[in-house]
Amino acid sequence: MHVLLVTQYFWPENFPINDLARQLNQQSVTVTVLSGKPNYPSGQVFAGYRALGCEREQFENISIYRVPIVPRGQKSRMGLALNYLSFIASAGLLGRRVLRGAAPFDVVFVYAPSPLLQALAAVRLARLYKLPLVVWVQDLWPESLSATGHVKNSWLLGLVARSVKRIYRATDRILVQSRAFVAPVAALTDQPGKIYYYPNLYQPQKYSPPSQNARDLAQRLNEHFNVLFAGNLGTAQALDTVLEAAQKLQPHAHVRLVLVGSGSMDPWLADQCAQKNLHNVVLPGRFDASDMPTLFGAASALLVSLRADPAFALTIPSKIQAYLAAGRPIIASLDGEGARIVDESGSGFCCAAGNAELLAEAILRMANTPLAEREAMGQRGQQYFHKHFEPAQLVEQLKMHFNDVISARRTAS
């Protein structure tokens, strides 16, 4: 089986699709990737790449074909819009030419975090190649646009909704990362029977020696009760709520909140911590994925948070799988599906999204929980991960989805 994976984001950018592509490749599935030039999350094209021109490279045994892209820049809505549109245009118009010489494909597969509209390029390629199309939906569009506040214009949101309908109707199988996505996606397609739940895949990192920076941070973490957040520091993550909770926790000198990662909110976070004298908040920046086992292992608890919005309540943040696999207790400032998983697994405490008072209370409750019970929470989380999110099992499920649409297309022809 030969899969053409269309994704705006791929290695060396750090996204779960990297591990999924690697595992498919290890199970006798040839994966070829059509992607843009890596520039996430810094907003600048990574060293060794050029924004213009097409390139080809290898990631282990995976061939990657890259098309031109406008870098997203920093905190620029116009830059972000051009970044999205440039990939859609480049992949759609240049994709077939760039892929010339690749072996025949059997199926087109889209990994679709925001923007879902990147699938428009895959719709065109699937039609040109006369192949079935599978789209893995990570965010609900247009709902996520309005939820993040990036777009408020009703006419533009309507235009996006019409484009999403076009994508869904052209797709042979729609995979959704949350069961709660099924109903809103079904409302935009004429064939709800082609929608299937397929959760995010997380491959636990094999141990490798951590960087010196990671070792230093882990040592600092062990000096306090620390709650560690790891990932994108953006508008969706309700970081204003996290800082407000930190302010309420200042009388408790043994508690630290550690925000590992980077994103559009970096300058705001640094400014707010300085203005409010938040000595209990640590902003150590980004770390490589290979450092995460060390940092997770040093964390007293792991934090996941999203803004209070109906669209986000339907989402399962991908970091939840990583946190469960790490075997550490979880504090979830979430509504809906993400909170349900933490509750169901018994891996930690949940509180309503966007409520700093309740978040501060949950952190103190965790800090006052005996170590043995916190360790038991982590163990329950790991057990839940292996039961529901085992990577090898999920890869087999995905291969079945591919085989189903390939067989159906061949039968129809």
User: What is the chain's length?
Assistant: 413
Map out the domains of the chain with their CATH numbers. 2-201+390-412 (3.40.50.2000), 212-388 (3.40.50.2000)
- Residue 205 is predicted with a pLDDT of 77
- Residue 396 is predicted with a pLDDT of 96
Report, as an integer, the average pLDDT of 25-35: 95
Which tokens hold the place of 357?
């008072």
pLDDT, tens digit, 9 for 90 and up, residues 352-399: 999 999 999 999 999 999 999 999 999 999 999 999 999 999 999 999
Report, as an integer, the average pLDDT of 153-178: 89
Q: Are 295 and 287 in contact (CB under 8 A)?
A: yes
Report, as an integer, the average pLDDT of 7-26: 94
| pLDDT band, residue 131 (cuts 50/70/90) | very high
- The phi and psi torsions of 271 (rounded to 5 degrees) equal -65, -45
Asked if pLDDT for residue 149 goes beyond 60, the answer is no
- Residue 204 is predicted with a pLDDT of 86
- Residue 73 is predicted with a pLDDT of 87
Round the average pLDDT of the chain to a whole number and report it: 93
pTM given for the model: 0.86
- Residue 129 is predicted with a pLDDT of 96
Asked if pLDDT for residue 319 goes beyond 60, the answer is yes
pLDDT, tens digit, 9 for 90 and up, residues 214-234: 999 999 999 999 999 999 999
CA pair distance 277, 279, nearest whole angstrom: 6
| 326 CB neighbour count, 10 Å cutoff | 26
Instruction: Show the 3-state SS of the chain.
Output: CEEEEECCCCCCCCCCHHHHHHHHHHCCCEEEEEECCCCCCCCCCCCCCCCCCCEEEEECCEEEEECCCCCCCCCCHHHHHHHHHHHHHHHHHHHHHHCCCCCCCCEEEEEECCCHHHHHHHHHHHHHHCCCEEEEECCCCCHHHHHHCCCCCHHHHHHHHHHHHHHHHHCCEEEECCHHHHHHHHCCCCCHHHEEECCCCCCCCCCCCCCHHHHHHHHHHCCCEEEEEECCCCHHHCHHHHHHHHHHCCCCCCEEEEEECCCCCHHHHHHHHHHCCCCCEEEEECCCHHHHHHHHHHCCEEEEECCCCHHHHCCCCCHHHHHHHHCCCEEEECCCHHHHHHHHHCCEEEECCCCHHHHHHHHHHHHCCCHHHHHHHHHHHHHHHHHHCCHHHHHHHHHHHHHHHHHHHHHHC
- Choose between 401 and 150: higher pLDDT: 401
- Residue 148 is predicted with a pLDDT of 59
Report, as an integer, the average pLDDT of 201-224: 90
Asked if pLDDT for residue 168 goes beyond 70, the answer is yes
- Residue 254 is predicted with a pLDDT of 95
| pLDDT band, residue 144 (cuts 50/70/90) | low
| pLDDT band, residue 294 (cuts 50/70/90) | very high
pLDDT, tens digit, 9 for 90 and up, residues 231-273: 999 989 999 999 999 999 999 999 999 999 998 899 999 999 9
Asked if pLDDT for residue 153 goes beyond 70, the answer is no
| pLDDT band, residue 44 (cuts 50/70/90) | very high
Q: Which residues pair with 260 in a beta bridge?
A: 230, 285
